[in-house]
Amino acid sequence: MSFSRTILILVLAAGLSYAAVARAADAAPAAAAPAAKPDDGFRSIFNGKDLTGWDGEPGVWSVVDGVLTGEVTKAKPLKMNSFLVWRDGGDVDDFEFRCQYRVLGNSGIQFRSEEISKYHIKGYQADMESGDTYSGIQYEERGRGILVPRGDKVEIAADGKRTVKHVDDSKKLQGFIHKHPEWNQYEVIVQGNHIIQKINGHVTAELIDNDAKHARRSGLLALQCHAGLYPMKAEFKDIVIKRLKLAQTKKIVMIAGKPSHGWGAHDFYAGTILLMNRLNKTTGVLAVSYYNGWPRDKTALDNADALVLYMDGGPGHPVIKHLDQVQQLARRGGGIVCMHYAVEVPAGVVGEHFKDWIVGYYESGYSINPHWNAEAVLDAKSPITRGVKPFMVKDEWYYNMRFRDDASGIQRVLQAKPDDEARSGSTASPRGPKKHIVDAKGRIETLMWAVERTDGGRGVGFTGGHFHANWANDDYRKLVLNAIVWTAGAEVPSDGVSSEPVSSAELDANADEPKPKK
């Protein structure tokens, strides 16, 4: 809530000063309100011990007796509202959120929001206070202000015009909200353009936001500590969230691995951003990304339609510690794309999972990884090649994958014939030659493949992606974008996924290493 409204809550319903209420709270025993217990699909995002996964202004947020606490005093005032951000969650889209809360002053639950500077947030807010006016309203911090007064349902049209329907009496709803030091349960349900807020089981505000300029589909989740109110104390516990499947939109979760090479190679972070920005201009698709390794957020894949892995592989492949999480995605029909080094895993248990998920993998000692110019041979029948023209690109193209025995369902989307030098392994790691590779001279090799699994999901392996500069090749890039969209279960347009050219500035942006000076 903005500071301009805080003067309206300087007096509490009981007629006590803030200081008096604070003294009463300190003297009162802990409330016995029922906890928000996780149901199916709900996961705890606060461990009750410390701020792991959360990030807030030092000296403002802490954990006290198992309760997440934001507190401001006259001795340590805030110049502006400060927020505790759920960093582990990244951008959150459709979800149900529940928590127990109590507050002195004013606070709120921020969602689908944007960080404009460190710990300072703008966006949707489920409001709460210790007064009688604002608890339960839908507010937009640093934006459109009050969107839905308590007891109303508001629909905002594309042009910003509002239609308001009075559904319930605001004073009656206030009667269901407990005063400090008792606890309340807040629920926020967000799906598509529809937002519902509840306190203690009663709907307090409902919003349908079609505003073309201001509505947001995803963003940060955070908790507010309000400036200018003393004492200001917001407490939260039993914080759980359930990701909801997106309606009429395919969600793609992209995981970029940690830096591993010098300039221009294995730029997983930069490459993921470049691809994500183009995917998010595709109708019916929402792509989100996690960087620097596997996300700590255990809910990250819960509502994904596809998972894209672009990271270092081999015996240190991050997926090895998260097989169950990816298996759950696969069993419910989720798609899986592995790019470049991410196709390499150890033989055995992990390799068998990859045979199941994407029909094959790079097996050390069997497959090979030389740098060579591949002249693309495209499967014209595959939807993944729509709008893609043949190209020739030098990359660290892996080949001779270890496919499962029954490989009849594979779409060999991209193939090429390695030359003698590529077969010699002179640029491979470890260096060749490997007899079985050399003996296959003249054979065409599969560099991108796709499969439709029996569980309804799809899988893709792509062995390119070593050199970051290759993303500037329009057809190479379109092929990968098409593959990702197809794997998510979306329709690939007849001319392929639209993808504007990559500028040199964009190509250099977000690199792991500084660009060498000429």
pLDDT at 104 over 80: yes
Q: Is 371 left (phi over 0), alpha (psi -120 to 50) or beta?
A: beta
Is residue 362 located within the same domain as residue 218? no
In a domain, residue 515? The reply is no
Which of 200, 228, 243 is the last residue before a domain boundary? 243
pLDDT at 75: 85
Tell me the C-alpha distance between 370 and 354, whole Å.
22
CA angle in degrees (0–180, nearest 5) for 408-410-413: 145
Residue 89: inside a domain, yes or no?
yes
Q: Reply yes or no on whether the pLDDT at 15 is more than 90.
A: no
Structural domain including 332 reads 250-508
By three-state DSSP, how is residue 213 classified?
Answer: coil
Say if 442 falls within a structural domain: yes
Calculate mean pLDDT across residues 108-112: 98
- By residue count, the chain amounts to 518
Q: What is the pLDDT of residue 196?
A: 98
Query: Residue 184 in 3-state DSSP?
Result: strand
Q: 456: pLDDT confidence band, cut at 50, 70 and 90?
A: very high
Token pair in block for residue 312? 């270092």
Return the ∠ at Cα 12 (arms to 23 and 226), rounded to 5°: 80
The residues, ordered by sequence, that sit 6+ positions from 492 with a Cβ below 8 Å of its Cβ are 383, 384, 386, 482, 485, 486
284 and 398 assigned to the same domain: yes
* Nearest by Cα to 108 from 132, 138, 80: 138
Are 151 and 204 in the same domain? yes
- Residue 9 sits at φ, ψ, to 5 deg, of -120, 25
Kindly state whether residue 514 falls inside one of the protein's structural domains: no
Q: Which two tokens stand for residue 211?
A: 């505003």
Say whether both 330 and 224 belong to one domain. no
Q: Which CATH number goes with the domain that contains 462?
A: 3.40.50.880
For the segment 320-348, the average pLDDT, to the nearest whole number, is: 98
On whether residue 516 sits in a domain, the answer given is no
- Do 277 and 181 lie in one domain? The reply is no
Task: Tell me the average pLDDT across 85-95.
Answer: 95
Specify the 3-state DSSP secondary structure of 234: strand
Cis peptide preceding 418, ω within 30 of 0: no
CATH number for the domain spanning 81: value is 2.60.120.560
Domain end residue (candidates: 243, 269, 289)? 243
> Who contacts 158 (Cβ-Cβ below 8 Å, separation ≥6)?
210, 211, 212
Residue 40 has pLDDT above 70, yes or no: yes
Q: Given a cut of 60, is residue 51 above it in pLDDT?
A: yes
Are both 203 and 303 inside the same structural domain?
A: no
Same structural domain, 12 and 136:
yes
Return d(Cα 401, Cα 414) in angstroms, integer: 13
Mean pLDDT on 399-427:
95
Residue 18's pLDDT is 31
CA distance 233 to 225: 7
How far is residue 245's CA from residue 429's CA, in Å, rounded to a whole number?
Answer: 42
DSSP one-letter string for 33-78: PPP----TT-EE---SSS-TTEE--TTTEEEETTEEEEEEBTTB--
Last residue of a domain, one of 243, 262, 285: 243
Both 236 and 293 in one domain: the answer is no
The verdict on 340 and 466 lying in the same domain is yes
Determine the pLDDT at residue 409.
86
My answer on whether 134 and 32 are in the same domain is yes
On average, the pLDDT of the chain sits at 92
Bridge pairing between strands 54-55 and 202-209: unpaired
Tell me if 518 is assigned to some domain. no
- Total number of domains in the chain: 2
Q: Are 198 and 204 in contact (CB under 8 A)?
A: yes
Q: Are residues 151 and 212 in the same domain?
A: yes
What's residue 499's pLDDT?
A: 94
Is residue 58 situated within a structural domain? yes
> Is 255 inside a domain boundary?
yes
Write the single-letter amino acid at 52.
T
- Tell me, yes or no, whether 273 and 331 share the same domain: yes
